[in-house]
């Protein structure tokens, strides 16, 4: 199926590794011009090297609002338009809530909530001027159902879910679709502590009805579809991709 992504312009944050890198590469293979943004310049360069000339990189620290403010203008300067935004970057500080430093909350909310909001605002205004566009926010199953010892992360990702629904309703008349993907357990560097420990890995997959963790390649077709013009009547949806974990009692 042709997703009609050739020569569209898509910004992907958190694209230096894991799900972000996988989505950036998949979009490039579909013919999109991808701007891959993250803090790690070296890792971004490695992703771009595999992008067939369709991925350019952009260093950005999403904790810093001044850095965030320059992201969409940089995309527009390079390409003159923006057709898709994937707000993928996120941080997941773990720990006991009773003893957590408020600074941890500040960082989690800055990266996971404020940055996606600022990027969606800047990109969406341009999309409206162009006649339409698509925004995909990457949340988590912990944003759908709370998880102990990840209270800041669960809280921030829950906010992303509500943000998606509210913005989708507001911008549907403007032909800007806003959707959310809530991934469960995927084999990425962020899950290294789990995948490299037989005991932790066994405990983790015991919670998943599918009986395994997922490969990033199992998420990217959905991401590509949601930034494609073919998804023009899909908005405000939360797509949980977790092997059935959040659907069981």
Q: Is 106 contained in some domain?
A: yes
Q: How confident is the model at residue 59 (pLDDT cuts 50, 70, 90)?
A: very high
Nearest 5°: the CA angle 55, 60, 61 is 145
What local confidence, expressed as pLDDT, does residue 247 receive? 86
What local confidence, expressed as pLDDT, does residue 190 receive? 76
The pLDDT mean for the chain works out to: 95
Q: Is 163 contained in some domain?
A: yes
For residue 203, the enclosing domain spans: 9-243
Into how many domains does the chain fold? 1
- Considering the candidates 55, 116, 124, 153, report the single residue annotated as catalytic: 153
Q: Is 156 contained in some domain?
A: yes
> Which pTM does this prediction carry?
0.96
Edge-first strand listing for the sheet containing 133-138: 55-59, 33-38, 9-13, 84-87, 133-138, 176-183, 238-241
Which pLDDT tens digit goes with each residue over 3-32?
999 999 999 999 999 999 999 999 999 999
Q: Is 36 contained in some domain?
A: yes
Residue 188 neighbours by CB under 8 Å, 6+ apart: 17, 18, 19, 216
Q: Is 4 contained in some domain?
A: no
Q: What is the 3-state secondary structure (H, E, C) of the chain?
A: CCCCCCCCEEEEECCCCHHHHHHHHHHHHCCCEEEEEECCHHHHHHHHHCCCCCEEEEECCCCCHHHHHCHHHHHHHHHCCCCEEEECCCCCCCCCHHHCCHHHHHHHHHHHHHHHHHHHHHHHHHHHHHCCEEEEEECCHHHCCCCCCCHHHHHHHHHHHHHHHHHHHHHHHHCEEEEEEEECCECCHHHHHHHCCHHHHHHHHHCCCCCCCECHHHCHHHHHHHCCHHHCCCCCCEEEECCCHHHCC
Q: Is 248 contained in some domain?
A: no
What local confidence, expressed as pLDDT, does residue 249 receive? 61
CA dihedral 156→195→12→116, nearest 10 degrees, is 0
Q: Is 131 contained in some domain?
A: yes
127 within 8 A of 84, measured Cβ to Cβ? no
Tell me whether residue 153 is one of the annotated catalytic residues: yes
Which pLDDT tens digit goes with each residue over 162-190?
999 999 999 999 999 999 999 998 988 77
State how far the Cα of 120 lies from the Cα of 128, in Å rounded to an integer: 11
Residue 123 maps to which CATH number? 3.40.50.720
């Amino acid at each position: 199926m042709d997703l009609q992504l050739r020569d569209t312009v898509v910004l992907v944050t958190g694209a230096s590794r894991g799900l972000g890198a996988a989505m950036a590469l998949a979009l490039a293979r579909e013919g999109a011009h991808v701007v891959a943004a993250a803090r790690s310049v070296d890792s971004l360069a490695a992703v771009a090297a595999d992008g067939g000339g369709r991925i350019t990189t952009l260093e950005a620290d999403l904790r810093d609002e001044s850095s965030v403010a320059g992201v969409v203008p940089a995309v527009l300067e390079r390409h003159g338009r923006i057709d898709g935004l994937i707000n993928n970057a996120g941080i997941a500080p773990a720990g006991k809530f009773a003893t957590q430093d408020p600074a941890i909350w500040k960082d989690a909310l800055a990266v996971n909530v404020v940055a996606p909001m600022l990027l969606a605002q800047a990109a969406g205004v341009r999309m409206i001027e162009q006649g339409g566009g698509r925004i995909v926010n990457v949340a988590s199953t912990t944003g759908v159902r709370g998880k102990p010892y990840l209270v800041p992360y669960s809280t921030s990702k829950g906010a992303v879910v509500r943000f998606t629904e509210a913005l989708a309703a507001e911008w549907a008349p403007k032909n800007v679709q806003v959707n959310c993907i809530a991934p469960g357990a995927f084999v990425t560097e962020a899950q290294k502590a789990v995948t490299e420990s037989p005991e932790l890995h066994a405990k983790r997959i015991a919670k998943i009805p599918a009986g395994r963790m997922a490969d990033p390649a199992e998420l990217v077709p959905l991401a590509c579809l949601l930034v494609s013009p073919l998804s023009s009547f899909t908005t405000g949806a939360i797509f949980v991709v977790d092997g059935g974990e959040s659907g069981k009692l």
